[in-house]
Amino acid sequence: MQQLEIKNLRVAIGENEIIRDLSLSVGLGELHAVMGPNGSGKSTLAKVIAGHPDYKVTSGEVFMDGENLFELEPDERARKGLFLAFQYPSEVPGVTIANFLRAAMQARLPEGEELEATDYYAKLYEKMDLLEIDRSFTSRAVNEGFSGGEKKRCEILQMAMLDPRYAVLDETDSGLDIDALKVVANGVNSLRGPNLGVLLITHYQRLLNYIVPDFVHVMVQGRIVRSGGKELALELEEKGYDLIRDHAEEPVAA
């Protein structure tokens, strides 16, 4: 089963149910966009998949290639090939991007095996060239004092280095001007391929002009209310979420 499979997921913070019986599958090689208005639970979905401790899964499961993610710690999920590009990436003061990534890659090696520095830097520079990132960038501390665009670029660089099987990109377009958006989109596009499944979470249609999805899902109030091809994004752009939301108030056809 080569897919990231979300099955009947329910998530709450305290008494407040945020995700309500959501199911969705992302096959390897596919790119799915999840769109929805603010407060629809999109970011919660991303964090729950990655294992953020603040959220309580009340029922349902998430499987990655058949393995139940909820039985794994966040770092185990990551090492098995799950990547989350954060909407608001944390700063790691004093730790350079180069050292951070090196530690992350070292953590993926079996005990006793040492990451070869020359191989590591060769790969790092290759990916930086691919993403048009300046060489001096990786000697800066992770996200410390970064602009919005730099943070997103840093996320995409990490994704490129860590070779995930499934990547969840949470609002990767937020806070970006159009030039930065293009750079990030080019980065994501260059990483697409048969060995990567992507779940792209976004509020705006504009990102989908640059990253063309295979499937689009509309998420409202904690559940997927409509799914379709890339044309659904355009429809949404035209009619707005209101129309869909009205639609969502009706019982979802089984």
Per CB under 8 A, residues contacting another protein are: 50-53, 73-75, 77-79, 83-84, 86, 89-95, 99-101, 103-104, 107-108, 114, 117, 141, 158, 162
To the nearest whole angstrom, how small is the minimum distance from the Cβ of residue 107 to another protein?
4
Alpha carbon distances (Å) from 174 to 85, 152, 249: 12, 9, 28
Minimum CB–partner distance for residue 48 and another protein (Å): 12
Least separation in angstroms between CB 74 and another protein: 4
Phi then psi for 105, rounded to 5 degrees?
Answer: -75, -35
DSSP of 77-126: HHHTTEEEE-SSPPP-TT-BHHHHHHHHHHTTSPTT----HHHHHHHHHH
| In the complex, least distance from residue 52 CB atom to another protein, rounded to whole angstroms | 6
Closer to another protein at the Cβ: 138 or 205? Answer: 138
Q: How far is the CB of 60 from another protein (least distance, A)?
A: 21
Torsion sign, CA atoms 34, 38, 40, 44:
positive
If the CB atoms of residues 165 and 230 are measured against another protein, the closer one turns out to be 165
Residue closer to another protein by CB (options 94, 251) is 94
Minimum separation from the CB atom of position 75 to another protein (A): 4
Instruction: Give the orientation angle of helix 97-106 with respect to helix 117-130, to 10 degrees.
Output: 120
Cα 63 to the center of its chain, rounded Å: 16
Closest separation between CB of residue 235 and another protein, Å? 33
* Residue 27 or 74 having the CB closest to another protein: 74
Q: Which is nearer to another protein, 82 or 220 (CB)?
A: 82
Measured from the CB atom, the residue of 83 and 241 that comes closer to another protein is: 83
Task: Count CA atoms within 13 Å of residue 225 on its CB side.
Answer: 23
Round the CA-based radius of gyration of the chain to a whole number and report it: 18
- What does each C-alpha distance from 71 to 57, 75, 82, 89, 158 come to in angstroms? 12, 12, 14, 25, 25
Which residue, 28 or 162, has its beta carbon nearer to another protein? 162
Question: What whole-number distance in Å separates Cα of residue 151 and Cα of residue 159?
Answer: 13
Distances (CA, A) of 143 to 123, 135, 148, 149, 231: 21, 16, 9, 11, 35
